[in-house]
Amino acid sequence: MIVVTGAAGFIGSNIVRGLNRKGIDRVVAVDDLTDGDKFINLRDCQIADYFHKDDFRKLVSTGSLGRIKAIIHQGACSDTTERDGHFMMDNNYRVTLELFNFAQARSIPFIYASSAAVYGAGPVYAENIANEAPLNVYGYSKFLFDQVLRSRMSNLTAQAVGLRYFNVYGPHEQHKGRMASVAFHNMNQFLKEGHVRLFGGWDGYGDGQQSRDFISVEDVVAVNLYFLDHPEKSGIFNCGSGRAQPFNDVARAVVNTLREERGEAALSLDELVQAGLIRYTPFPDDLKGRYQSFTQADLTALRQAGYVADMLDVETGVSRYVKDWRQKTK
């Protein structure tokens, strides 16, 4: 049995599908379906059982779970604007620590979601504490558990892997609201309003040129499954594409894919701007000094751990995502 927490969420549900594609359907899904609409993310998945997250936490505390092959822990509050530190530290840090201790006591492989938020403003995004200074309590909740793992690396009883996700996009994020990816918001804005709006220039960057490391959820799943297949490997690893691309690239991929659906030709960025299909709004004053204008994962450690597959670029990954979404919502 493999446990996936956050199983009805964005990344978690995609991991369950990835397990199913490998012929693994003895999956215990853990989540909170109080917001019942998230069940949609699980309805095409094969699972063996479901537990509400609080019930599962009680089972962990009493050691009342059956035989478990691995735990893939994706459950967390990922709202970077959440200011309730008590909630975040319990929900993100304490639960992760409890699961880790449970897994270590039983020699169960444990793969968990860390975050690029631990790096704060950067500018170096490599797995070293000298580069880490989270800017919010979400980032700190991830940072603190990473520190626990680092302190225990020398005496692990089983695999423990933390994956620092960068800007993930892809299917099954529709429930995330304002925390959904830029690609998701661009797509819905274009369908509703006929154009996409991006931030104008600031911090030395031109209009729409602020850049992030955007990674497809397809690649995130592949990295998780790689470590599941290699239980001898442990550590903290960046999980990004390894390339920074501007928001303009995301918007262009979204608009041109939707234009293709209408039988219209792809346009260059300049042509899209001239046609008013991509527009820019002044950079918000309240974000100045608190905004990551550039992120790019250093993949050295991930490559050294043996993961060598190429990551999708924005043009390919976003186009594939838009087509998938449109096929499901038409």
Residue type, 122: G
Domain limits, the chain: 2-168+217-241+296-312, 174-210+245-291
321 in Cβ contact with 183 (< 8 Å): yes
pLDDT band at 261 (very low <50, low <70, confident <90, very high): very high
120 in Cβ contact with 170 (< 8 Å): no
Residue ranges for the known binding site are 10-11, 31-32, 38, 53, 74-78, 91, 142, 167-168, 176, 178, 185, 199-202, 212, 291
What is the DSSP secondary structure assignment for residue 168, as one 8-state letter?
A: E
- How large is the average pLDDT for residues 175-191? 94
pLDDT recorded at residue 195:
98
Strand-strand pairing, 110-115 and 70-73: parallel
- How large is the average pLDDT for residues 14-30? 98
- How large is the average pLDDT for residues 149-156? 98
pLDDT at 210 over 80: yes
Q: How many residues does the chain have?
A: 330
pLDDT recorded at residue 287:
79
Q: How far apart are CA 253 and CA 196, in angstroms?
A: 11
Token representation of residue 115: 């975050």
pLDDT digits (tens, 9 = 90+) for 32-88: 999 878 999 999 999 999 999 999 999 999 988 889 999 999 999 888 778 889 999
137 in Cβ contact with 83 (< 8 Å): yes
Residue ranges for the known binding site for NADP(+) are 10-11, 31-32, 38, 53, 74-78, 91, 142, 168, 176
Residue 203 CB neighbour total at 10 angstroms: 14
Q: How far apart are CA 35 and CA 53, in angstroms?
A: 13
Q: How far apart are CA 82 and CA 252, in angstroms?
A: 31
State yes or no: is 233 an active-site residue.
no
Place of tokens 């931030």: 199
Token representation of residue 279: 């527009």
165 in Cβ contact with 115 (< 8 Å): yes
Q: Taking the alpha carbons of 121, 124, 126, 132 in that order, is the dihedral positive or negative? A: negative
Q: How far apart are CA 225 and CA 22, in angstroms?
A: 9
pLDDT recorded at residue 17:
98
Greatest alpha-carbon span in the chain: 63
Q: Which one is catalytic: 176, 233, 280, 323?
A: 176
Strand-strand pairing, 245-246 and 211-212: antiparallel
Q: What is the fold of 2-168+217-241+296-312?
A: Rossmann fold (3.40.50)
Residue 41 CB neighbour total at 10 angstroms: 24
244 in Cβ contact with 295 (< 8 Å): yes
pLDDT recorded at residue 78:
85
Residue ranges for the known binding site for substrate are 167, 178, 185, 199-202, 212, 291
Q: Which one is catalytic: 93, 112, 119, 138?
A: 138
pLDDT at 289 over 80: no
Q: How far apart are CA 207 and CA 222, in angstroms?
A: 33
CATH number for the domain whose boundaries are 174-210+245-291: 3.90.25
Residue 62 CB neighbour total at 10 angstroms: 8
Judged on CB neighbours under 10 Å (0-12, 13-18, 19+), 280 is: middle
pLDDT at 108 over 80: yes
Q: How far apart are CA 91 and CA 111, in angstroms?
A: 17
pLDDT band at 255 (very low <50, low <70, confident <90, very high): very high
Q: How far apart are CA 125 and CA 303, in angstroms?
A: 15
Ranking 2-6, 67-71, 135-139 by mean pLDDT, the lowest is 135-139
pLDDT band at 166 (very low <50, low <70, confident <90, very high): very high
Chain centre distance of CA 214: 10
The full DSSP string for 56-81 is HHHHHHHT-----SEEEE--S---TT
State yes or no: is 138 an active-site residue.
yes
Judged on CB neighbours under 10 Å (0-12, 13-18, 19+), 290 is: exposed
Residue 15 CB neighbour total at 10 angstroms: 27
pLDDT band at 2 (very low <50, low <70, confident <90, very high): very high
pLDDT at 330 over 80: no
